[in-house]
Chain A
Amino acid sequence: MDVPIDPHAIREAVARRECSAVDVCRAALDRIAALDPPLNAFRAIARERALERAAELDARDDRERLPLLGVPIALKDNMCTRGVPTTASSRILEGYVPPYDATVVKRLESAGAVIVGKTNCDEFAMGSSTENSAYGPTRNPWALDRTPGGSSGGSAAAVAAGMVPLALGSDTGGSIRQPAALCGVVGFKPSYGRVSRYGLLAFASSLDQIGPFATSVRGAALIMNTLAGHDSCDSTSSPAAAADFTAALDDAGDLSGITIGVPRHLFREGVDADVLTAFDAAIDVTRGQGAEVVEVTLEHSPEAIPVYYVIATAEASANLARYDGVRYGYRAEDAATLGDMYDRTRGRGFGREVKRRIILGTYVLSAGYYDAYYRKAQQVRTLIRRDYDRAFANVDVIAMPTSPTAAFRLGERTEDPVQMYLSDVFTVGANLAGLPAISVPCGLTGTRLPIGLQFTGRAMEDRTVLRVAHGYERATSWSSERPPRLTSELSR
């Protein structure tokens, strides 16, 4: 039977009983079964749990008031789901089944959403290509020889391929926005503190943020209404009440009164010509919609990547100390003593990139190097924040390309960590400064690979970012472009 794919349409159809939540859930599970084998976007399918949940929703009398009624959702595999394996795509958590739900899971389910599965990612969210998963890379639905980006590549690919209308990812240095750009979908990293991280397997706690993938800004705003808000289980979540995110959107696509800052000094090198052309065209569109466009300077942005990799690895080395073979997942069985068991479990359970980062993080925190690396990075982080503060005195949002290139080939950057880290050049700033930022599709390269446009806003002004991105989206048709091969498969 024909069921809608758009989250709003699903909600309306299930509320009016034009179709049941079980029908919608089955259709999503069927799409996953048909489309996932070549893509490897999913780590686990929660078939029974999802169908039970959908049947419960169909039996409820108060279903009309549920904002995400019957909407199938995929979660990145680093968010705890009770009874469903959660591994962060790491061997060290193989077999781990969490005894509790992350706060985002509770919120989604109480809003009527149906969680259908867990998506592949770079191990512990460390990477920019999903190639660091212990369970094989995810492939880009637009070109199977290319990466979907990362680290939330599975979630991005699942939404881009139409398997689910919405998915959650986590963003520590661009891990929602960069894969969204490379897969041609919308990816939103809310302000630091806007969404609870309770139940998110921590990577770098001063940077991590959960956020949505959707095929439109409106879809992202819809799910944000459910995700946002204070949580007593996460003391970094903001006590400020979250306003209605969808109410901030204006379908007329009018951007008059909005000032957009462009830090053009950052685009001098390393940005592909196709990306820059699409970006310039997008800025012209916003100008045509009434936005004022001005130059801004983010003086310390060139240092953002080294600052990020010092801070993120330092925090990761502390956060990942808990994986010791005692309490969860994998344990090396051949150790004679407790100490050996720790060393072997961690040595074999973690993959290369994770070990590389634990070593780097331990090193920059060790006596004699702490001041030179970690403290210094925290000081430059302050300067990066001040750059944004200065820019936001004059502009409402800052526009940049999301990623300097479109999707790269699998294996192309795995040998050189620094090259891989440079994928994050335009995204890490928002994490270091705690700002809301979104990636929306803004074009295709000559070989039909998606290009993303990023808007960054003031801290806790998530609504402004969504409003501008939605306005831009209304004026163009890039968000409705779908991967060609899959479009034909879906219509069969």
Chain B
Amino acid sequence: MSAGALAKAELPYTLSRAPLRRRAPVAWLTRCRSFAALVSRVRITYCAWGPTPTRAPRRSLGGCAPPSGRRRSASREPRINGDSIASMSDIFSTSDVERVARLARLELTAEEKDLFARQLAGILAYAEQIQRVPTDGVEPTSHAGDAAALRDDVVCPPLPREAYLTAAPDADLSAGLFKVPRVLG
């Protein structure tokens, strides 16, 4: 979609949150840009760890003793016999929490980072029991119902722009825009 199309006032009504995006052209575009840059940076970092399990496993802080063993390669299925079940929970430190919090755009306090590192290590240790279930050749289920049906491509009138703008913390009604702090620091 071109920026011109995004800026148009009257666009077909759709079922996603797309109308809200269209109504915040500047904010949404800038967010996409900064978020994409962030994701691409972090992805490279993660991929670099994946196949080279060189970091020493740390002790779990969560009270649930994780199986011994090193972090498995992301590209391999975990094996299901005894001690070769790899553990991912033993790597959850405050710096891991910080890294994921940046991906999720969450500011956390120092106390929260400590708490979450401990609790998420425990939750992940618990979640590792699913690694023991053989699933070779099993199709993943993404949805409980039948595949979502497509509706007819019919234009429905959206709510007036003001309806969305007045629900926002800061907006310029006459310009028809959401207001946000400046984009570059």
Q: Which of A233, A239, A338, A377 contacts B15 (CB 8 A)?
A: A233
Contact A339–B185 (Cβ < 8 Å): yes
Contact B183–A235 (Cβ < 8 Å): no
Contact B138–A382 (Cβ < 8 Å): yes
Contacts of A340 in B (CB 8 A): 181, 185
Q: How far is the CB of B1 from chain A (nearest CB, A)?
A: 19
Contacts of A421 in B (CB 8 A): 123
Q: From A53-61, A221-229, A365-373, A444-452, give the one contacting chain B.
A: A365-373
Confirm or deny: A432 has a beta carbon within 8 angstroms of a beta carbon on chain B: yes
CA distance A195 to B94 in the complex (A): 41
Contact B108–A368 (Cβ < 8 Å): no
Contact A359–B100 (Cβ < 8 Å): yes
Q: How far is the CB of B109 from chain A (nearest CB, A)?
A: 8
Q: How far is the CB of A442 from chain B (nearest CB, A)?
A: 27
Contact B178–A326 (Cβ < 8 Å): yes
In this complex, how many residues of chain B approach chain A with their Cβ under 8 Å: the count is 75
Task: Contacts A358-B106, A362-B100 given; indicate if A331 touches B27 (C-beta within 8 A).
Answer: no
Q: Which of A98, A381, A417, A433 contacts B123 (CB 8 A)?
A: A417
Task: Contacts A193-B145, A335-B181, A338-B27 given; indicate if A368 touches B140 (C-beta within 8 A).
Answer: no
CA distance A210 to B4 in the complex (A): 39
A residues 210-252 in Cβ contact with B at 8 Å? 232-236, 238-239
Q: Find the A residue at minimum CB distance from B74.
A: A368
Contacts of B148 in A (CB 8 A): 235-236
Contact B107–A346 (Cβ < 8 Å): yes
Contact B112–A366 (Cβ < 8 Å): no
Confirm or deny: B34 has a beta carbon within 8 angstroms of a beta carbon on chain A: yes
B residues 102-155 in Cβ contact with A at 8 Å? 103-109, 112, 115-116, 119-120, 122-124, 126-131, 133, 135, 138-146, 148-151
A residues 337-391 in Cβ contact with B at 8 Å? 337-344, 346-348, 350, 352, 355-356, 358-360, 362-363, 366-373, 375-383, 385
Confirm or deny: B20 has a beta carbon within 8 angstroms of a beta carbon on chain A: yes
Q: Which of B64, B159, B169 contacts A99 (CB 8 A)?
A: B159
Contact B120–A360 (Cβ < 8 Å): yes
Q: Which of B78, B163, B182, B185 contacts A372 (CB 8 A)?
A: B78
Name the residue in B64, B159, B185 with the highest tally of chain A Cβ atoms < 10 Å from its Cβ: B185
Q: How far is the CB of A367 from chain B (nearest CB, A)?
A: 4
A residues 302-328 in Cβ contact with B at 8 Å? 302-303, 306-307, 309-310, 317, 321-322, 324-328
Contact B108–A355 (Cβ < 8 Å): yes
Confirm or deny: B5 has a beta carbon within 8 angstroms of a beta carbon on chain A: no
B residues 65-112 in Cβ contact with A at 8 Å? 72, 74-75, 78, 88, 96-97, 100-101, 103-109, 112
Confirm or deny: A289 has a beta carbon within 8 angstroms of a beta carbon on chain B: no
Contact A99–B167 (Cβ < 8 Å): yes
Main secondary structure of the interface of A (DSSP, over half): helix
CA distance A218 to B17 in the complex (A): 37
Q: How far is the CB of A489 from chain B (nearest CB, A)?
A: 38
CA distance A348 to B139 in the complex (A): 39
Q: How far is the CB of B160 from chain A (nearest CB, A)?
A: 9
Confirm or deny: A1 has a beta carbon within 8 angstroms of a beta carbon on chain B: no
Contact A355–B131 (Cβ < 8 Å): no
CA distance A369 to B73 in the complex (A): 9
Contact B169–A331 (Cβ < 8 Å): yes
Contact A238–B145 (Cβ < 8 Å): yes
Q: Find the B residue at minimum CB distance from A193.
A: B145
Q: Find the B residue at minimum CB distance from A100.
A: B159
Q: Which of A235, A322, A372 contacts B131 (CB 8 A)?
A: A372
Name the residue in A306, A326, A341, A350 with the highest tally of chain B Cβ atoms < 10 Å from its Cβ: A326
Contact A418–B180 (Cβ < 8 Å): no
Q: Find the A residue at minimum CB distance from B178.
A: A326
Task: Contacts A368-B49, A379-B139 given; indicate if A373 touches B20 (C-beta within 8 A).
Answer: no
Q: Find the B residue at minimum CB distance from A343.
A: B107
Q: Find the B residue at minimum CB distance from A327.
A: B168
Contact B180–A98 (Cβ < 8 Å): no
Task: Contacts A335-B181, A359-B97, A382-B141 given; indicate if A368 touches B47 (C-beta within 8 A).
Answer: yes
CA distance A371 to B78 in the complex (A): 10
Contacts of A191 in B (CB 8 A): 145
Confirm or deny: A96 has a beta carbon within 8 angstroms of a beta carbon on chain B: yes
Q: Which of B17, B135, B145 contacts A192 (CB 8 A)?
A: B145
Contact B46–A322 (Cβ < 8 Å): no
Contact A359–B47 (Cβ < 8 Å): no
Contact B149–A380 (Cβ < 8 Å): no
Q: Find the A residue at minimum CB distance from B162.
A: A99
Contact B170–A338 (Cβ < 8 Å): no
Task: Contacts A369-B88, A417-B119 given; indicate if A328 touches B168 (C-beta within 8 A).
Answer: yes
Contact A350–B167 (Cβ < 8 Å): no
CA distance A238 to B182 in the complex (A): 44
New A-B pairs, 19, CB < 8 Å, besides A192-B145, A321-B104, A339-B34: A100-B163, A302-B129, A322-B17, A327-B164, A328-B168, A336-B181, A337-B183, A340-B181, A350-B106, A355-B112, A370-B74, A378-B140, A378-B141, A379-B139, A380-B130, A382-B140, A383-B135, A418-B64, A431-B144
A residues lining the B interface (CB < 8 Å)? 95-100, 191-193, 198, 206-207, 232-236, 238-239, 300, 302-303, 306-307, 309-310, 317, 321-322, 324-331, 335-344, 346-348, 350, 352, 355-356, 358-360, 362-363, 366-373, 375-383, 385, 416-418, 421, 431-434, 459
Q: Show 23 A/B contacts (Cβ-Cβ < 8 Å), sorted by A.
A: A232-B151, A233-B15, A238-B145, A238-B146, A302-B129, A306-B129, A322-B20, A326-B168, A336-B181, A340-B181, A346-B106, A348-B107, A359-B101, A366-B103, A372-B78, A377-B130, A378-B140, A378-B141, A379-B139, A381-B140, A381-B141, A382-B141, A417-B122
B residues lining the A interface (CB < 8 Å)? 15, 17, 20, 24, 27, 30-31, 34, 42-43, 46-47, 49-50, 64, 72, 74-75, 78, 88, 96-97, 100-101, 103-109, 112, 115-116, 119-120, 122-124, 126-131, 133, 135, 138-146, 148-151, 159, 163-164, 166-170, 178, 180-185
Q: What are the 6 A-B residue pairs with the smallest beta carbon separation, nearest first?
A: A434-B144, A347-B107, A378-B140, A99-B163, A331-B169, A379-B135
